[in-house]
Structures are given as structure tokens and as C-alpha cells.
Amino acid sequence: MKSCLIYIDHKEIQNSIDLLEVARQIFQDEPYETTGVEFGNHNVTLVGRFDHLIQVHHPEIKLYDQVAVTDVMVQIQEANAYDCILIPATYYGRILAPRMSMHLGVGLVADVTAIGHYNNDLEMIRPAFSGRIMAGIVSRSQSPIMMSVRQGVFHYEGQNDKATNIMKYVPTHVKDGGISCLSVKKKEQIYDIRESDVLVSGGGGVVKSFHQLEKLATKLGGQVSASRKIVDQGLATRSIQVGQSGKTVSPKLYIALGIYGSIQHVEGLKNVPNMISVNINRDAPICSLSDIVVEGDAMAFIDGLMKKIEENEGTLS
């Protein structure tokens, strides 16, 4: 039976759970088992989803010490020889994955966004050349296969009633990275665009009027997001950027205003059931992906839609 090792990022539990869907797509109909590794406090949402759950306990392990965590993950892999290692491409996972790869002497495919199978070989798909193309990487090497996986792309909807085998692991030795936490500052963020059902997103075509997107987003009960051009102009923070260098989103409704639709931006859109594009260029790439295309000025569209919404609100009893 095949086996898969999954690192649980304690700050990104759902993204870690979603890696179970990656494992399913890798092994398909082949029998396999999953093992999650968690550091720190136990999270009950993991039980019932993994076949095995390793809880690492050691008083000298600091969760922010990449050297110590890498050392323990390598110990677990070497002791059990898993066929596949999956790590979420979170801020911490992007540091952990290459360290593990070097220690284990195996190849790493980073930032995977899709899984395929090519002539009976596993194909891992990821952005390449600064996101200008999507590359399919085929692995013919011996196990383990190792990859970090883009957040928000895969969604696990499988069973959560497994009889999870919980194991305590106390490493006999742990490398100390000599890292100390001097202070912790809470990052101010009003909302997370990945959690919004409705996104009103602005691109280069609305640079001069980007601030006006907020009124439409509020009316629709959604949030404002942006393309890289808006962020590069200093009109929005990277926390609300959609795309390869931003976040991957899956809203129920995505309204793209003045967005051209480069591959970098499109890579941030996954499983969006309803997309409306407003653009003066009907041949913009984003239009070919949209359910509704409005050729014209984005601000005129906002004003017209706002007026229609307000008229309908006035007729409600």
C-alpha cells in the first residue's frame, strides 16, 4: 500500500487538510494511507480525515524554528519511507520544503497547482517563467515524490469519519536553529479575500477610480480585490491581490473590472462558477473565461448596476 506524509501548518489548518485531495489525485484508485504530522497543540479537526496522525512533542521545539522542525520531519520520513511528501505552500511551508528536500536528497516541485497523469507517470503542474506559462513536470525518479502545493487550489471534500490512529512522537534529539522570537506583531487585515463569496476586482483599466469599487462590493455583500497592476501602483496592498504572486480565490461571483487577464492573474482564479468581465477590449484574455462580458467603461457599469440595485431595493416590502 502506498503512503503519503503531509505536514500540518498550525496556522493554516484547512490548507493542510486540503492536501488530502492532492493525495487522492496522485494515487487515484491505488490503495494508499495518509499520515499528518502536527507540531504544538492538537487540532481536533484533523481526526477522522487522516489515517494516521503523528503528534510531535518536545519541550525544545519552537514552532518558528525551521531547523528543528525540518530535523524532525526528516527523522519521520527516514523512519517510515513514505512514497509521497506534501507540504502546503504557506509562508512557513515555503521555507520547510526546500530544507527537507536538501536533507533527504530528493527533488522538490514547488507551488503545484494541478495534478495530472502522463503515460502512467505522475505530472505535477506549476507556473514557470514568472507565470508566463504552465509547466507540466513528470517525475520518473524513485520515491519519495515531494512537492509544495499552492493554497486555495485544491479542496478536500472526502470522508471525515476515519478511525484515525493517533501516535505521539518524542524525538530523541532535535537540532537547535538558534532562532529566538523577540516580539510578535499582529498584522492588521480587515478581511481575507479567500473567504469572500463575492469579489469586485480592479485592474489597470480602473487605476484612476479603483477607490470607487468599494461601494459596489459593499452593496453586493462582498469584498474588493485587485490585480498586480493596482498593487504595483500602490493603490492596494498585496493582501488583496489575486494571482500567482497574490492569492488564489474561489468566490461564487467574480466581477473583473478593467482587468486584462494575464496568465499570472488567471492562475489565481480556481473553481469560480460565475464571472463577469467589464472591459473596453472585448478580446482581453479574461473575457474568454467569463460567463458575461460587458464591453464598455467599468465606472459606467458600476454606476448603472448600483442604480439598478437601489431601484430593486426600493421595491422590496
pLDDT digits (tens, 9 = 90+) for 265-309: 888 898 899 999 999 998 999 999 999 999 999 999 999 999 999
Amino acid at 153: V
Beta strand 145-149 pairing with 84-88: parallel
How would you class 239 by CB atoms within 10 Å of its CB: exposed for 0-12, middle for 13-18, buried for 19 or more? middle
Q: How far apart are CA 254 and CA 250, in angstroms?
A: 8
Residue 88: name the closest of 57, 73, 110 by CA.
110
266 labeled part of a ligand binding site? no
- All residues at 6 or more sequence positions from 62 whose CB lies less than 8 Å from its CB, including other chains: 68, 179, 181
What mean pLDDT comes out for the span 21-44?
93
* 227 in a labelled binding site: yes
The annotation status of 55 as a binding-site residue, yes or no, is: no
Instruction: Please give the CATH superfamily to which domain 2-169 belongs.
Output: HUPs (3.40.50.620)
pLDDT tens digits, residue range 88-129?
998 899 999 999 999 999 999 999 989 998 888 899 998 887
List the one residue out of 166, 184, 152, 123 whose CA is nearest residue 12. Answer: 152
Q: Which among 41, 34, 128 is positioned nearest to 86, based on CA atoms?
A: 34
Which residues have C-beta within 8 Å of that of residue 107, sequence separation ≥ 6?
A: 101, 139, 141, 146
Whether 82 has a binding-site annotation, put simply, is no
Is 259 marked within a binding site?
Answer: yes
- Please name the residues in contact with 300: beta carbons below 8 A apart, sequence gap of 6 or more: none
To the question of whether residue 204 is assigned a binding role by annotation, the answer is no
Domain ranges in the chain with CATH number 3.40.50.1220:
193-315
Tell whether 279 is in a known binding site. yes
Is 76 labelled a binding residue?
no
CA–CA distance, 300 with 6 (Å, rounded to integer):
49
Whether 139 and 145 have beta carbons less than 8 Å apart is answered as: yes
261 is known to lie in a ligand binding site: yes
Model confidence band, residue 313 (pLDDT cutoffs 50, 70, 90): confident
The CATH classification number of 193-315 equals: 3.40.50.1220
Report pLDDT for 135.
87
Which residue spans of the chain are classified as CATH 3.40.50.620?
Answer: 2-169
Contact 21, 100 (CB under 8 A): no
Residue 245 labelled as part of a binding site: yes
Q: Is the pLDDT of residue 144 over 80?
A: yes
State yes or no: 228 annotated in a binding site: yes
258 is in an annotated binding site: yes
What confidence tens digit (pLDDT) does each residue in 244-270 have?
A: 778 889 999 999 999 999 888 888 898
Has this prediction a pTM greater than 0.85?
Answer: no
Non-local CB neighbours of 183 within 8 Å, separated by 6+ positions: none
- Annotation-wise, does 241 bind a ligand? yes
